[in-house]
Amino acid sequence: MQKLSSPLPTDVMARNRRTFLSQSGIGLGVMALASLLGRRTPADVGTGAPASGLHHPAKVKRVIFLCMAGGPSHLETFDYKPELARLHDKPMPESFTKGQPIAQLQGTELKCLGPQATFGKHGESGQEISNFLPWHQKMADDICIVRSMVTEQINHDPAHTLMNTGTIIGGRPSMGAWINYGLGSECDDLPGFVVLTSDSNGRTPQPISSRQWGAGFLPSRFQGVPFNSMGDPVYYVSHPQGITPQQQQRLVETVNQLNQHRFTTTRDEELRTSIAAYEMAFRMQTSVPELTDLSGEPRHVLEMYGATPGDGSYASNCLLARRLAERGVRFIQLYHRDWDHHDHLGHFMNICCGDTDRATYALLTDLKQRGLLDDTLLIWGGEFGRTPMFQGTQSPGRDHHIKGFSMWLAGGGIRRGMTHGATDELGYSAVEDVVQIRDLHATVLHLLGIDHRRLTVKFQGLDMRLTGVEESHVVQQILT
């Protein structure tokens, strides 16, 4: 089977290899374009592979990652702890916290903060979900809740970087870029990786660095493309005043001819990126306005999401995510930036859940009704969880927490209506079926038909991969 990766042109040997390929009838241009469009290369023809580059049959074609930036509290959403309620306002047992990393509570008196929500069992599966998430309660039988997530970084930006790239080292490709590189897009008039952001105008909308969707050392055409939530979705997507589409097309063709001529002598992969970018930008002048025009959506669909077109909300972004999925975009990432609740926990949970709960249900339901959920992977979660201890006194909140938190997955290949893993009786540490961030990455790649150990790129003398050199595992227990 053809290997997914190929070394990058960092030395003379790489250039000589490209010269050989370009003269052998395969051609890097053909291979790059095939990767960009998700089509078979000449080397794939007759191999019997299920699709270009797949290591095994895929369960899903695309990923929608709903990132709750700031760290939603697992103790007010999916992980009910009656013992924590019993110990409310009492000292946190030192046996849990001694020698453990704590963000802003280091050196302070630690007291237990009982759950600020009521929980109930929902659906035939009986999954425990809090009253902050009434619409999630309706989809209890469709989602797999993972209660045993752990991470290594206790502050927002490095925790986001680990969640997105598998490392805190800057300049590494994001998960969406790796997937876009490995499989390409299913459409040729939209990027293979699109990013959307929103916030609740609540306590602290977290800034999100563009490196969270960067391509790192991969060719930059595989990076995420941010779409604006309000105004023009992509800057300069409209035709310049006084310029016809035909004139602009001639300009693009001329520039690309010059870039192609330069590429024949330099073999600079970024020239391929420039060619692809010009061509994609030209096609997007037609595809993006049609994509973002929600006027054709039935009123009942808009009401289901709670979306008002053009308002820049999470609800509108969820509807746009469904439209992107329909058009073949491979990786769609939504950031909702307002979950950092160090104080007034109940107040801000009501705001954030009110802005996201219904729309998340609508997205899952809409995908399901259209037959898209079976080949889509939905992921919901933040970069870490929250402490079982108080932060603040008058209107308490919770501090950052890395030792145990919750996420959920749904869609193709995921067991539905189940809870995986567990934290201890106070929700402090994951103690059963622990899932590391890189295990999550390995599982996502597996569902897409990729063996995470074989999706590699030679960089600085090493075979680099999303899951790094640490031992990572596909979480088989949550798969069908």
Residues 6+ apart with CB under 8 A from 209: 157, 160, 161
The pLDDT value given to residue 188: 83
User: Is the pLDDT confidence value at 62 over 70?
Assistant: yes
Residues 6+ apart with CB under 8 A from 241: none
Q: What is the pLDDT of residues 348-378, one digit of tens each?
A: 999 999 999 999 999 999 999 999 999 999 9
Cα 478 to Cα 60, 322, 412, 414: the distances in Å are 15, 24, 11, 6
The pLDDT value given to residue 31: 36
- Name the band, by pLDDT with cuts 50, 70 and 90, for residue 8: very low
User: Is the pLDDT confidence value at 59 over 80?
Assistant: yes
Indicate left, alpha or beta for 281 from its phi (over 0: left) and psi (-120 to 50: alpha). Answer: alpha
The pLDDT value given to residue 274: 66
The pLDDT value given to residue 17: 40
The pLDDT value given to residue 260: 76
Architecture category of domain 54-237+296-478 in CATH: 3-Layer(aba) Sandwich (3.40)
User: Is the pLDDT confidence value at 46 over 80?
Assistant: no
- Name the band, by pLDDT with cuts 50, 70 and 90, for residue 28: very low
The pLDDT value given to residue 189: 87
User: Is the pLDDT confidence value at 52 over 60?
Assistant: no
Q: What is the pLDDT of residues 399-452, one digit of tens each?
A: 999 999 999 999 999 999 999 999 999 999 999 999 999 999 999 999 999 999
Alpha-carbon distance of 205 to 218, in angstroms, equals 30
Q: What is the pLDDT of residues 102-127, one digit of tens each?
A: 888 887 889 999 999 999 999 999 99
The pLDDT value given to residue 293: 86
Which has the closest alpha carbon to 151: 430, 380, 410? Answer: 430
Q: What is the pLDDT of residues 65-104, one digit of tens each?
A: 999 999 999 999 999 999 999 999 999 999 999 888 888 8
> Rounded mean pLDDT of the chain?
85
* 8-12, 94-98, 208-212, 368-372: least confident range: 8-12
Between 242 and 461, the higher pLDDT residue: 461
One-letter identity of residue 429: S
* 40-44, 275-279, 290-294: least confident range: 40-44
pTM: 0.83
- Name the band, by pLDDT with cuts 50, 70 and 90, for residue 228: confident
Alpha-carbon distance of 221 to 193, in angstroms, equals 10
Torsion angles phi and psi, residue 376, rounded to 5: -125, 140
Q: What is the pLDDT of residues 262-278, one digit of tens each?
A: 777 777 766 766 666 65
Q: What is the pLDDT of residues 162-179, one digit of tens each?
A: 999 999 998 999 999 999
CA 18, 215, 237, 293 torsion: positive or negative? positive
- Name the band, by pLDDT with cuts 50, 70 and 90, for residue 29: very low
CB 456 within 8 A of CB 7: no
Segment 442-467 mean pLDDT: 95
- Name the band, by pLDDT with cuts 50, 70 and 90, for residue 32: very low
- Name the band, by pLDDT with cuts 50, 70 and 90, for residue 36: very low
Q: What is the pLDDT of residues 327-351, one digit of tens each?
A: 999 999 999 999 999 999 999 999 9
Alpha-carbon distance of 130 to 166, in angstroms, equals 30
Q: What is the pLDDT of residues 303-318, one digit of tens each?
A: 999 999 889 999 999 9
The pLDDT value given to residue 388: 97
Between 227 and 52, the higher pLDDT residue: 227
The pLDDT value given to residue 195: 97
Between 173 and 242, the higher pLDDT residue: 173
